[in-house]
Amino acid sequence: MVVALYVDDLIFTGSNAKLIKEFKEIMKKEFEMTDLGLMKYFLGLEVKQSDEGIFISQERYALEILKKFKMEDCNPVSTPMEPGRKLSKFDGGERANSGRFRSLVGSLRYLTSMRPDLMLSVGITSRFMEDPSYTHWKALKRILRYVRGSLSLGLFYSKLDDYRLVGYSDSDWCGDVDDQKSTSGYVFLLGNTAFTWLSKKQPIVTLSTCEAEYVAASWSVCYAVWLSNLLRHMGVIRDEGIVIRVDNKSTIELAKNPVNHGRSKHIDVRFHFIREQIREGKVELEHVESRAQAANIFTKPPPTTLLENCKRLIGMRDGKSI
């Protein structure tokens, strides 16, 4: 049984109906409580439960954002950021209202709770909160235009007999035009659907695509070790190695080869944690073709076809079809 507490609201679930009933009775004796039944709405998350699975979205919250920033009647676009778009803190032009800019970034950040397709674009624009220009503000408004055209998108978790934890790791190379740092991205799926993801700029400047992907993979492995321990403790997954899929063969070779080649001697020792985990069988790096790399949307602004493919790979669905 799992119990989640937020202030005075409780969410609980489990596979033992008797235990759940006993828990509710005990709580009602100790506290004044109201049983609202199956969860339908919680902290901006809308939940639809059926015999086939669970669909979670943030359509109502997204509409509130559009209304707040007077964008409910805007023209939709097919991607949250223009493919190949590079933003810089040195972009000229009129300065934007920093307070309003930060407010929109904060609102969009919460929207990424169930909208992994927004993670990269929101992350990139949030780098300019200190002194945003009109160019940065325009990029933020484009995200709203994309949201307007995809309000009913969410994640569908189908009922399966066996859940397996699989991760995808990716990186661009020197994607930030201001400091030449790369952006790491990873996503973990249980069954056929994503349930945790990251898009974050790396803390160092890497000297090759292999090194950038290696740093990204090391972050993924660190998270996978913690995540697998948690899920095993909860009884969700079995005690087996976690597969992380990477689309760079040189990165996989570097992670599995204990010899420090001349090209990799400069890599910080903390990133070599990945080798130990592979050696102990806790993690396995597996090559995947770029077209099947689900983490692509967390590292670089994709064109429409690639974006739609990645959304399909991570289990995003249109709520209207459910």
Are residue 19 and residue 66 in the same domain, yes or no? no
Q: Is residue 198 part of a domain?
A: yes
Are residue 167 and residue 243 in the same domain, yes or no? yes
Our count of domains for the chain comes to: 3
Rounded CA separation 175/173 (Å): 5
Are residue 196 and residue 82 in the same domain, yes or no? no
Are residue 130 and residue 195 in the same domain, yes or no? no
Q: In the predicted model, what is the mean pLDDT of residues 240-245?
A: 92
Are residue 185 and residue 108 in the same domain, yes or no? no
Are residue 23 and residue 85 in the same domain, yes or no? no
State the pLDDT at residue 260.
Answer: 57
Q: Which of 128, 183, 141, 191 is nearest to 165 (CA)?
A: 191
Q: Is residue 47 part of a domain?
A: no
Rounded CA separation 317/153 (Å): 6
State which residues form the domain around 176.
Answer: 160-288
Q: Is residue 307 part of a domain?
A: no
Q: Is residue 320 part of a domain?
A: no
Question: Quick check: 313 and 197 in contact, CB under 8 A?
Answer: no
CATH number at 214 reads 3.30.420.10
Q: Is residue 155 part of a domain?
A: no
Identity (one letter) of the amino acid at 322? Answer: I
Work out the pLDDT band at 313, boundaries 50, 70, 90.
Answer: very high
Considering 111, 128, 149, which residue would you say is the last residue of a domain?
Answer: 149
Are residue 84 and residue 204 in the same domain, yes or no? no
Q: Is residue 53 part of a domain?
A: no
* pLDDT tens digits along 24-80: 999 989 988 888 888 999 999 999 999 899 999 999 999 999 999 999 999 999 999
* pLDDT tens digits along 262-303: 566 667 666 678 989 999 999 999 999 999 999 999 999 999
Are residue 73 and residue 30 in the same domain, yes or no? no
Considering 121, 149, 177, which residue would you say is the last residue of a domain?
Answer: 149
Are residue 120 and residue 74 in the same domain, yes or no? yes
Question: Across the chain, where does the E strand assignment appear?
Answer: 2-6, 9-13, 41-42, 45-49, 53-57, 153-158, 165-171, 183-190, 193-201, 242-246, 283-287, 316-318
Are residue 65 and residue 168 in the same domain, yes or no? no
pTM of model > 0.75: yes
Are residue 81 and residue 185 in the same domain, yes or no? no
Neighbouring C-beta atoms of residue 40, cutoff 10 Å: 11
